[in-house]
């Protein structure tokens, strides 16, 4: 099913979790006869939520796709998770879509997931449409939702295109504002009910004004009071949607297949195709260039999602920006400078892939078993060197330590997690060289818990999550001069090393060694041994066993034995001096602190500042944000107080705030914190 760009619609379903994105997708697929039954999340038989974890948890946790045809138009439906932990897949889906279809519920107020979906689409200047679901509920109110949308986003361009026909509290049909036609479920096209004529005319007049802005001829007709033809209305509305002059609103009950006909008709008639978005900005042969969506141009595509399927192998989802992709072809990965052999080309349909011989510019497809290509990589014809900027995924801000339940499984755990990072680039994994912990970072408990579940189900290794250890440091606060003597006689050669060392705080750096020995009291050939003994000793301080930093040690004096002295003896003597010196030099515990920036609405500023103060934070500034009605709070906060901040902030603000935390420096810990850390270490 190779279609030209004018007959393709790339639609991203996005919105708050639980608002029915996957259910809407199932209803669209079934109405278009792409499936022979309506999949249900409760039964675990949906096309788009097919992963074992999704079926078990009854939520979407990964981007999935279904390509199908309706009225000679190919619709690439991209269903992205609504959960906040999976923002990366939301971004991937929006990157390759030509319109965002935001799904919201008529049963509740406009939720934070709707706000976030709108903001992400706005940031990409992406056309938007909205589908109000749940009109079967007695508490639902379509027009209240529309008013809330106007108030929330300050845009009268949010315009209902289909209105609900409600009888006895039940949705029995819809009215198309543009065609002035009613559609009654089970009957087909019917006249518009008399009691709805006023609303239809009001919304139609608003639509006319936006449609007129798309064309000078239409603008003249509008001011002259001339009627638009049916074709002018259809083409004008499609252009108005593409230009973001209108954000159309639809309604229905997907669980009962109601409102789907009008939605699919509108997808075909009013939603923009890839040509409407125009050229894309790329780097071509090292220079900035505009790349048109031309099926006859050089092949240029970008991978936007990678899935490690246990049966098929690695699947790479891609969008074609130029040219026609064919199977049995070799393309150049311009991101990595290596070639890729394309044996097969597929259209995605949930967990199935339908093989095709070719796909044209503007379309979306799947490759399998690529050797080197990863998410964000570009593939091109060999003589066309085009590179895309990498997809801008948010940085992980929530970390847990991964603990193996069986000794020796650490390598398998690392391999499994790195495989999952190919699927979800927002995950991060590292082995802390200091604490030796395996640290997994993401955006929340759900995302990390799914990783642990998949380690068991897909890779056969059992692990659990625990708190990440805080990398404290120790330091001294005064200068001291101490003696270290190591003397041992056990017959034959003995051991003798004797040093006087001055320890003092170092203003910059971790450790500095110097010597100021006169008269050969300690031979020079033993200086390296003294330094080595000290460098080994600073890895474990005397308070709680944490590494020592900010220390200068100067070898002043000592003595040696011509027979019994050795490098080992002086190394041991230096270690003795270190322990004695640390005890005498007023040792203190240092805790890592970082710079915290929180982007939060004005209404929640007090809560955020109060919470930062509870975390022993120091507020530095409160500045205006780029987001309307928001402020940016900057503070310095101890790292030990930030372990649960991602989840706590989400709870406090209903996920309406975002933050960034970055290590700044080490500072002296308060006495109560020092005592607590020492006590925990001694247990």
Burial of 182-218, coded b for 16+ CB within 10 Å and e otherwise, reads: bbbbeeeeeebbeebeeebeebbebbbebbbbbbeeb
Rounded CA gap, 416 and 429, in Å? 11
How far, in Å, are 35, 446, 574, 678 from residue 354 at the CA level? 14, 32, 71, 61
Q: Domains of the chain: which residue ranges?
A: 5-277, 280-387, 398-466, 473-585, 590-682
Residue 41's CB: how many other CB atoms inside 10 A? Answer: 19
Strand order across the 463-466 sheet: 428-431, 438-442, 398-404, 463-466
**In CATH terms, are 398-466 and 590-682 the same topology?**
yes
| Tokens of residue 639, six digits | 């790292």
| Residue 351 pLDDT > 70 | yes
Q: How far apart are CA 522 and CA 326, in angstroms?
A: 77
State whether residue 212 is helix, strand or coil.
helix
Band of residue 383 on the pLDDT scale cut at 50, 70, 90: confident
Tell me the Ramachandran region of residue 656: left when phi exceeds 0, alpha when psi lies from -120 to 50, beta otherwise.
alpha
Q: Which 3 state secondary structure label does DSSP give 463?
A: strand
Q: Are 157 and 246 in contact (CB under 8 A)?
A: yes
CB 118 within 8 A of CB 128: yes
**CA–CA–CA angle 633, 639, 644 (5° rounding):** 80
Percent helix, percent strand, percent coil in the chain, to nearest 5: 30, 35, 35
Give yes or no for residue 465 having a pLDDT over 90: yes
How deeply is 511 buried, as exposed, middle or buried, from its count of CB atoms within 10 A (0-12, 13-18, 19+)?
Answer: middle
Lowest mean pLDDT among 125-134, 223-232, 358-367: 223-232
- Reply yes or no on whether the pLDDT at 2 is more than 90: no
What confidence score (pLDDT) does residue 59 get? 93
Closest of 152, 120, 62 to residue 658, by C-alpha = 120
Neighbour tally for 296: CB within 10 Å = 9
Query: What pLDDT shows up at residue 632?
Result: 95
Q: Is 55 exposed, middle or buried (0-12, 13-18, 19+ CB in 10 A)?
A: middle
Give the start-end residues of each E strand in 252-368: 280-284, 287-291, 300-309, 313-322, 324-326, 329-333, 338-342, 345-349, 352-356, 358-360, 364-368
Neighbours of 462 (CB within 10 A): 13
> Region 128-157: what's the mean pLDDT?
89
Q: Domain 398-466 - what CATH class?
A: alpha beta
User: pLDDT (tens digit, 9 = 90+) per residue, 575-603?
Assistant: 999 999 999 999 999 999 999 999 999 99
- 8 Å CB contact between 149 and 249: yes
Q: What is the pTM of this model?
A: 0.88
* pLDDT at residue 491 greater than cutoff 70: no
DSSP 129-170: EEEEE-TTSTT--HHHHHHHHHHHHT-TTEEESEEEEEETTE
pLDDT per residue over 641-672, tens digit each?
999 999 999 999 988 899 999 999 999 999 99
Give 341-365 as a 3 state SS string.
EECCEEEEECCEEEEECEEECCCEE
Count of helix runs (H) and strand runs (E) in the chain:
16, 37
Mean pLDDT, residues 281-292: 88
Per-residue confidence (pLDDT) for residue 396, from 0 to 100: 93
- Which pLDDT tens digit goes with each residue over 196-229? 999 999 999 999 999 999 989 999 998 888 899 9
With 0-12 / 13-18 / 19 or more C-beta atoms within 10 angstroms meaning exposed / middle / buried, residue 337 is exposed
From the number of C-beta atoms within 10 Å of its C-beta (0-12, 13-18, 19+), residue 173 rates as: buried
For residues 461 and 406, the answer to whether their CB atoms sit within 8 Å is yes
Q: Which residues is 592 bridged to in the sheet?
A: 666
**Quick one: pLDDT at residue 492?**
66
Question: What pLDDT is attached to residue 348?
Answer: 95
* Of 28-37, 355-364, 377-386, minimum mean pLDDT range: 377-386
- Tell me how far apart the alpha carbons of residues 239 and 124 are, in angstroms, rounded to a whole number: 18
Those residues whose C-beta lies under 8 Å from the C-beta of residue 195, and which sit 6 or more positions away, are none
Checking if the pLDDT of 154 tops 80, the result is: no
Say how many residues make up the chain.
683
What does the pLDDT read at residue 658? 92
Choose the CATH number for 473-585 among 3.60.15.10, 1.10.540.10, 3.30.230.10, 3.40.50.300.
3.30.230.10
pLDDT at 284: 87
Tell me which residue has tokens 């990157």.
Answer: 95
| pLDDT, tens digit, 9 for 90 and up, residues 386-399 | 999 899 999 999 99
Tell me what pLDDT residue 235 has: 93
CATH 2.40.30.10 fits 280-387, yes or no: yes
Q: Does residue 330 have a pLDDT over 80?
A: yes
Pairwise pLDDT comparison (106 vs 491), residue with the higher score: 106
**Alpha-carbon span 118 to 98, nearest angstrom:** 14
pLDDT at 312: 74
Q: Is 549 helix (H, G, I), strand (E, B) or coil?
A: coil
SS3 314: strand
Q: Determine contact, residues 147/256, Cβ cutoff 8 Å.
A: no
Joined together, the tokens standing for residue 289 give: 């260039």
pLDDT of residue 607: 94
- Looking at residue 309, its pLDDT comes to 74
- Mean pLDDT of the region 441-463: 94
Asked whether 330 and 349 are in contact (CB, 8 A), the reply is no
Q: How many CB atoms lie within 10 A of CB 443?
A: 24
% of residues, the chain, pLDDT over 70 = 99
Q: Which residues is 587 bridged to in the sheet? A: 476
Q: What is the pLDDT of residue 501?
A: 95
Residue 155 has pLDDT above 80, yes or no: no
The predicted model gives 307-320 an average pLDDT of 86
The CA-based angle 513-516-518, given to 5 degrees, is 150
pLDDT band at residue 286 under the 50/70/90 scheme: confident
Query: Can you give the C-alpha Rg of the chain in angstroms?
Result: 33
* Per-residue pLDDT at 463: 96
Residue 1 has pLDDT above 70, yes or no: no
User: Strand 378-380 relative to strand 188-190: parallel, antiparallel, unpaired?
Assistant: unpaired
Q: What is the DSSP letter of 525?
A: G
pLDDT of residue 317: 97
- Mean pLDDT, the chain, rounded, equals 93
Rounded (5°) CA angle 560-563-567: 60
Class (C level, CATH) for 590-682: alpha beta
Q: Which strands, in side-by-side order, build the sheet including 181-184?
A: 162-167, 170-176, 181-184, 188-190
Task: For residue 196, give the DSSP letter.
Answer: G
| CATH 3.40.50.300 applies to domain 5-277 | yes
């Amino acid at each position: 099913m190779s279609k030209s760009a004018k007959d393709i619609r790339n639609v991203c379903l996005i919105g708050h979790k639980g608002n029915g994105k996957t259910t809407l997708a199932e209803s669209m697929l079934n109405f278009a006869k792409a499936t022979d039954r309506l999949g249900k999340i409760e039964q675990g038989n949906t096309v788009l939520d097919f992963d074992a974890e999704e079926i078990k948890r009854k939520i979407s946790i990964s981007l999935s796709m279904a390509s199908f045809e309706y009225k000679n138009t190919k619709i690439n439906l991209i269903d992205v998770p609504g959960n906040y932990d999976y923002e990366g897949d939301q971004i991937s889906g929006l990157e390759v879509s030509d319109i965002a279809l935001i799904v919201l519920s008529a049963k509740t107020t406009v939720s934070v997931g709707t706000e976030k979906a709108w903001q992400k689409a706005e940031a990409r200047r992406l056309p938007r449409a909205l589908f109000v679901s749940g009109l079967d509920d007695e508490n639902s109110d379509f027009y209240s939702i529309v008013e809330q949308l106007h108030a929330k986003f300050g845009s009268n361009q949010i315009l209902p295109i289909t209105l609900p026909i409600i009888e006895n509290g039940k949705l029995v049909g819809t009215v198309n504002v543009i065609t002035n036609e009613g559609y009654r479920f089970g009957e087909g096209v019917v006249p518009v009910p008399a009691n709805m004529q006023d609303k239809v005319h009001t919304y139609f007049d608003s639509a006319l004004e936006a449609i007129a802005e798309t064309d000078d001829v239409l603008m003249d007709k509008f001011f002259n009071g001339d009627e638009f033809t049916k074709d002018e209305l259809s083409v004008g509305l499609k252009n108005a949607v593409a230009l973001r002059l209108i954000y159309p609103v639809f309604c229905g009950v997907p669980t009962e297949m109601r409102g789907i006909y009008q939605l699919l008709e509108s997808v075909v008639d009013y939603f923009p195709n890839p040509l409407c978005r125009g050229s894309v900005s790329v780097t071509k042969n090292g220079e900035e260039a505009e790349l048109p969506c031309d099926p006859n141009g050089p092949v240029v595509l970008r991978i936007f999602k990678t899935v490690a399927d246990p049966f098929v192998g690695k699947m790479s989802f891609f969008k074609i920006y130029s040219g026609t992709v064919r199977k049995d072809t070799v393309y150049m990965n311009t991101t990595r400078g290596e070639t890729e052999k394309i044996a097969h080309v597929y259209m995605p349909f949930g967990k199935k892939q339908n093989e095709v011989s070719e796909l044209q510019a503007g379309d979306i497809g799947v490759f399998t078993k690529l050797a080197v290509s990863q998410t964000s990589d570009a593939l091109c014809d060999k003589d066309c060197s085009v590179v895309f900027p990498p997809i801008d995924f948010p940085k992980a801000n929530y970390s847990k330590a991964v603990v193996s339940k069986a000794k020796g499984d650490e390598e398998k755990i690392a391999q499994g997690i790195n495989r999952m990072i190919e699927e979800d680039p927002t995950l991060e994994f590292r082995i802390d060289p200091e604490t030796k912990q395996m640290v997994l970072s993401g955006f929340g408990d759900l995302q990390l818990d799914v990783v642990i579940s998949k380690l068991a189900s897909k890779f056969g290794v059992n692990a659990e999550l625990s708190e990440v250890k805080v990398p404290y440091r120790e330091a001294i606060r005064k200068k001291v001069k101490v003696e270290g003597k190591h003397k041992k006689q056990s017959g034959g050669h003995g051991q003798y090393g004797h040093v006087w060392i001055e320890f003092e705080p170092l203003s910059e750096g971790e450790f500095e060694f110097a010597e100021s020995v006169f008269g050969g009291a300690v031979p020079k050939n033993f200086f390296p041994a003294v330094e080595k003994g000290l460098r080994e000793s600073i890895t474990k301080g005397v308070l709680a066993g944490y590494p020592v930093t900010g220390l200068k040690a100067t070898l002043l004096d000592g003595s040696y034995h011509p027979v019994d002295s050795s490098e080992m003896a002086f190394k041991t003597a230096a270690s003795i001096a270190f322990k004695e010196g640390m005890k005498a030099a007023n040792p203190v515990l240092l805790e890592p602190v970082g710079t915290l920036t929180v982007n939060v609405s004005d209404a929640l500023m007090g809560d955020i500042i109060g919470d930062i103060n509870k975390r022993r934070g120091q507020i530095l500034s409160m500045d205006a944000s780029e987001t309307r009605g928001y402020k940016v709070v900057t503070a310095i906060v101890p790292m030990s107080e930030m372990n649960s901040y991602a989840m706590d902030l989400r709870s406090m603000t209903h996920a309406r705030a975002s933050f960034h935390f970055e290590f700044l420096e080490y500072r002296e810990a308060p006495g109560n914190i020092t005592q607590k850390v020492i006590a925990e270490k001694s247990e």
